[in-house]
Amino acid sequence: EVRDIVRSDLMFSRYFEVIEEPLSPANLSNDKDSLNFWKTRGAAWLVSAKASRGEKVWTLNARLHDLESGKVLLEKFYQGEPRAMRRAAHLFSDDVILRITGRKGLAHSKIAFANDSTGAKEIYTVDYDGENLVQLTKDRSIALLPRWSQDASRIYYTTYRHNNPDMFEIDMKAGKIRPFTTYQGLNIPGGFSPDGLTMVATLSRGNDPSIYSLDIVTRTLKKLLTNFGVSSSPTYSPDGRQIAFVSDRAGNPQIFVLDMETKKTRKLTRMNWCDSPSWSPSGEWIVFAGRETSSEKFNIFLTDLTGGQIRRLTSGSGDNEDPSWSPDGRFITFTTTRNGKGKRELYVMDADGSAPHPLTDLPGRTFTPNWSP
């Protein structure tokens, strides 16, 4: 099982071609002859591991070998309960990717989203590869817009369980769910500052929805916009200096950017409708859902920080909405109705719009995915 997970992770990363000789005795050894065997097959590195499972605890000792030098580049030891084995395999895959490429992997990451297959909208998580589906809430109401904390230990979401769109917090480690902000009107989580201590949120507090900064520890609020009509969907830039958001100040909802230091704003889009911006981890692009004319369906677009470059990533395939970046900036998750029958599915595509594919097969409709750090 560990072998299959690591193999899939390394292939999905697109960094590697995986070479296998299933019947070879070299699979069971990492001595000098075995290393030479793989080197003659054209491999640059060899992953080897030993795994065992007891009654309650499993252990995994995994290595990465450089076949050119014959040295062990990486050795990791894991142990835990059966339910944690998949995560250990993902973590090792990411360690391999980081050691060879110098870039962080995403095998450890998860996607949170809302789905209505129970008859109510509830919050779920799934591993980046579509496995390990878990239902987190049982609100029996409308739960939407999950947002991960920077350390992925908490998820914030909006729920109507008490007949007001309140913001609740899910403590992933403790398995506890509790109210976070319960102001009258909208309480919708947005993105987090790089240090994870400040959230930008959409709050109405009895008035038109606007953008606020919210201290996670003290719950102190600061309104960031004035005279900006209805504003929502804030997302921090990776350096924390700017916030992208949606406002109808110009008529139809458009994407704007607020400079946190100068307090100046600029408009990036001039389309019929824009929604749900998400800032790329590199800071170069903002992905969003929108339509260029009122007769079109929703599609996923990219804009640069000047608004001068607008790139369409989806076309002619139902409504495509709710984009969110993978933590390495190479993939985008989104929802789509491209398969018809009113079903809204969770999809993943490359950052250039290529290779779109369903992530997990769930009954019902899926909404507002958010990829973890």
Confidence band for 298, pLDDT divided at 50, 70 and 90: very high
Q: Look at the block and give the residue holding tokens 């824009």.
A: 274
**Residue 243 contacts residue 235 (beta carbons within 8 Å):** yes
Q: What is the pTM of this model?
A: 0.93
- Of 78, 216, 53, residue with least CA distance to 147: 216
- Could you read off the pLDDT of 170-191 as tens digits, one per residue? 999 999 999 999 999 999 999 9
Mean pLDDT of 113-131: 96
- Average pLDDT, integer, range 235-256: 94
For 207-283, strand residue ranges (E) read 210-215, 221-223, 231-236, 242-247, 254-259, 265-267, 273-279
Q: How far apart are CA 2 and CA 58, in angstroms?
A: 11
pLDDT category at 23 given cuts 50, 70, 90 is: low
Triad 71, 75, 80: Cα angle to 5° = 165
* Placement of tokens 């409708």 in the chain: 273
What is the per-residue pLDDT for 254? 96
pLDDT in tens, 154-165: 999 999 999 999
- Please state, rounded to an integer, the average pLDDT across all residues of the chain: 93
Q: In this structure, what token pair is assigned to residue 349? A: 């595509």
> How large a percentage of the chain has pLDDT more than 70?
98
pLDDT per residue over 331-342, tens digit each? 999 999 999 877
Mean pLDDT of 145-162: 97
Look at residue 341 in the predicted model and tell me its pLDDT: 75
Q: What percent of the chain has pLDDT over 90?
A: 83
- Judged against a pLDDT cut of 60, whether residue 362 lies above it is answered with yes
CA distance 81 to 53: 9
User: Residue 216 has what DSSP assignment?
Assistant: T
Mean pLDDT throughout 353-359?
A: 95
Taking 90 as the threshold, does the pLDDT of residue 63 lie above it? Answer: yes
What is the phi/psi pair of residue 101, to 5°?
Answer: -100, -20
* Mean pLDDT in residue range 274-294: 96
Q: Which residue has the higher pLDDT, 2 or 285?
A: 285
Q: Please report which helix (H) or strand (E) contains residue 38, including its range.
A: helix 32-40
> Which residue carries 């139902």 as its tokens?
318
Residue 302 clears pLDDT 70, i.e. is over it: yes
When pLDDT is averaged across residues 129-153 and rounded to a whole number, the result is 96
Residue 222 clears pLDDT 60, i.e. is over it = yes
pLDDT tens, position by position, 69-104? 999 999 999 999 888 889 999 999 999 999 999 999
Looking at residue 156, its pLDDT comes to: 98
| pLDDT tier at 66, thresholds 50, 70, 90 | very high
Would you say how long the chain is, in residues?
373
Whether the predicted pLDDT of 26 surpasses 70: no
Q: What is the arithmetic mean of pLDDT over 366-370?
A: 97
pLDDT of amino acid 29: 72
pLDDT at 82: 83
